[in-house]
Amino acid sequence: MTHPPAGVPVCYRHPGRETHISCQRCGRPICPDCMRDAAVGFHCPSCVAEGAKSVRAPRTPYGGNRSAVPALTSYVLIALNVGVFLALLAAGGANSDLGRILLLTPRGICETGGGQFYPDVASARNCMGVGVWSDGVTSGAWWQLITSAFSHVQPLHIAFNMLALYFLGPQLERVTGRVRFLAIYFFSALAGSVAVLWLSEPYSSTLGASGAVFGLIGALLVVTLKVGGDPKPLGIWLGLNVVITVVGSSYISWQGHLGGLLGGVAATSVIVLAPRTRRGWFQAAGILALVAVLLALVWLRTLELA
């Protein structure tokens, strides 16, 4: 390999190549293979890489990273709900072994078959030999607080909930970012379950993503009011759902709807009202504090039903 004469500038990355072009940022000589187009002249690969690190990712109005595909998260949640629906369908529905694991039941039940149960039997040991035991939240099945929000057994039920998630989810994620959207969604689902735990019959079974969906409605109302938008469209949607809930109160969990709505309002208020200084810290601390309140309520209800 021949080398340029002494004193002739060479590429800092390829010492054997003579060049008379320099990086516009650092001034180091670069050969044609190392040139990167810039607004003015050329930059070297090192400066381009350094510049990419210093460019901040676009942010949502409330501090989250802007999602490249805001609908993707909702699509994944819809897929999870559909997957659980199909699994329950294959297993035999709400009364199947899988249904007993996933559905939210405040207190454990000793079932005798045909919809009958022993209300005075409060443990699996006492149920042995007289019936079939199904765990509830207060008897240790704490996962039901979340799994019930992904469980459906009626086609219309899952269809309405997933349609609402399809329309509402991407709108909320656009203004909050993916992480904050998921925090609102799961907190609303948990809040709905805690409301069911306290306000429903201890031996009833509840399922569905309605609590999380009502949380999204509450979240978008908070955002709309915060930016001075028109809340009427969301108010009409909420009103129609309240009417449906009241009319169908014999088979629709108004408790889960109410808890989810209040949960969505509370979590979103923390996110949109957090001060700009150390916004992420305040948002995380606020959401964790709300979760702690819900967990405390679960603990108190467990003591009450024990």
Question: Which of the residues 210, 249, 253, 269 is marked catalytic?
Answer: 210
Strand boundaries in 48-157, DSSP class E: 109-113, 116-117, 132-134
The Cβ of residue 159 has, within 10 Å, a number of other Cβ atoms equal to 12
Residue 185, token pair as written in the block: 């969604």
Contact yes or no for 105/193 (Cβ under 8 A): no
Spatial distance between the Cα atoms of 14 and 28, rounded to a whole number of angstroms = 12
Is 96 a residue of the active site? no
Spatial neighbors of 10 by CB under 8 A, at least 6 apart, are 4, 16, 17, 18, 19, 29
Is 250 a residue of the active site? no
Helix residue ranges per DSSP H, the chain: 45-54, 71-91, 97-102, 124-127, 144-147, 155-176, 178-199, 210-226, 232-247, 254-273, 279-305
Positions marked catalytic:
210, 257
